[in-house]
Amino acid sequence: MSKLITLGEYVIHKQQDFPHATGELSQIFGAIRLASKIVHREINKAGLVDIIGASGSDNVQGEQQQKLDVYANEKFKAAMEARGQICGMASEEEDSFISFNEGHSKGSKYVLLIDPLDGSSNIDVNVSVGTIFSIYRRISPLDGPVQLEDFLQPGNKQVAAGYVIFGSSTMLVYTTGNGVHGFTFDPSIGVFYLSHENMRTPEDGKIYSINEGNYIKFPQGVKQYLKYCQEMDPETNRPYTSRYIGSLVSDFHRNMIKGGIYMYPSYANAPNGKLRLLYECNPLAWIAEQSGGKATDGRRRILDIEPTELHQRVPYYVGSKNMVEKAEEFLRKCPDLNGAS
C-alpha cells in the first residue's frame, strides 16, 4: 500500500533534501505542478478541439512548433513568473533565455531550463509526450541581471531535475540528489500522489531504443553494438528487444522501470546527435544516475560536460549501467573516423 501523500506534501516533508532552500524550491515545484496539470488537461482534450496542428511558427531548432508546444511553454513561463522564486528561464521554444529578474522575482536565486513538450510531433497520433526540466542556483550576483552563465552550468550543478510524462497516466518524476521519486496524477481531484518512491534503474536490461532508420549513418561502434544486441545468446538474455517510441521521456521512463538503453548517436550530418544537453540530456542523466543508471555521450559523463551554448546538442547513451558500458566498449573498439560517437 503506497503512502497516501501528495507531491506538495512530499516536497515539504523532504525539505531537508533541498540544500539551503528556504521553501523557494518547494514553491518552484508548486509552479511545475500547476503548469503540468494545465498541460495535462489540454493534451487530453487536444483531439477534441482544434488545438492540434502546426502553429505556423518555428522554434530555434527550425522545427515546426505544434500549438501545444507553444501553449505548454507559455503556461510554464507564466507559472514561474507568478511565483517570484525563478529569476530566469531557458526553453527549447525560446531563442534565448528570459529574465524574470524584476519586481517580486528580483534577486531570486534559481533558474529553470525546460523542454516544455518533448516529442510533441507525437501529439497528432496520440502517443505519449513529456516535459523535462532542470533547476540551478544562479551564479551571477543576486543584485545584478541574469546572465547566460547562469544557464551554461554543467549538469553536476543541478539542484533539482525531473520530467512529466503525459502517457496512459500522467506522472511527475524528480530528483534533488536524494533518490528518484515518482508521482501519479489523479485528474478527478487534481493531485499527484506518491506512487514510485526511490525508483531504481535495473543494472541490466534487454530493451534497446534507437531509430534504426538511421542505421546506415551510425558510427561503426553503434552498428557493432546493435549486432551484439541482436545475436542469439541465452546467457546474456540476447537477442534484446527493440522499443523506440520517438518520445524520449517515454523511452527513458520505460527503460528506467524495466531496464534498457536509449541511444541517440552522432553521425555525419548530425555531428553532435539531436538531443539538447541542457534541458533534455542533463536532467534525465541526473535522474538516471540517482536511480543507479548511467548517462554518457559515448565517452564522457553527461553531467560533467561544460556547456558552451544554450541549445547545444550531444550524442546520448542513457539507461541501465551495464548496457551503457557495453555500448561504450563497442564505441571504444571502433572509434569513428570523424569522431562521431
Known binding residues are 92, 115, 117-121, 211, 244, 274, 280
Cβ closer to ligand P6P: 22 or 61? 61
In which residue are the cell numbers 530555434 written? 60
Least CB distance from residue 164 to ligand P6P, whole Å? 13
Which residue ranges make up the annotated binding site for substrate?
118-121, 211, 244, 274
Three cell numbers at 186?
489523479
* Element containing residue 247 per DSSP (H, E): none
Cβ closer to ligand P6P: 200 or 217? 217
Least CB distance from residue 293 to ligand P6P, whole Å? 17
The DSSP secondary-structure symbol of 63 reads P
Cβ closer to ligand P6P: 37 or 274? 274
Amino acid, single-letter form, for residue 172: L
Least CB distance from residue 214 to ligand P6P, whole Å? 7
Q: Note whether 100 and 145 are within 8 A (CB).
A: no
Give the C-alpha separation, 316 to 261, whole Å: 10
CB atoms within 10 A of CB 242: 13
Cβ closer to ligand P6P: 6 or 64? 64
Residue 113 CB partners (closer than 8 Å, separation 6+): 89, 90, 91, 133, 134, 135, 136, 151, 278, 279, 282, 283
Least CB distance from residue 89 to ligand P6P, whole Å? 19
Cβ closer to ligand P6P: 109 or 276? 276
Least CB distance from residue 18 to ligand P6P, whole Å? 28
Give the C-alpha separation, 230 to 153, whole Å: 38
Residues that bind ligand P6P (CB under 6 A): 118-119, 121, 211, 246-248, 274-275
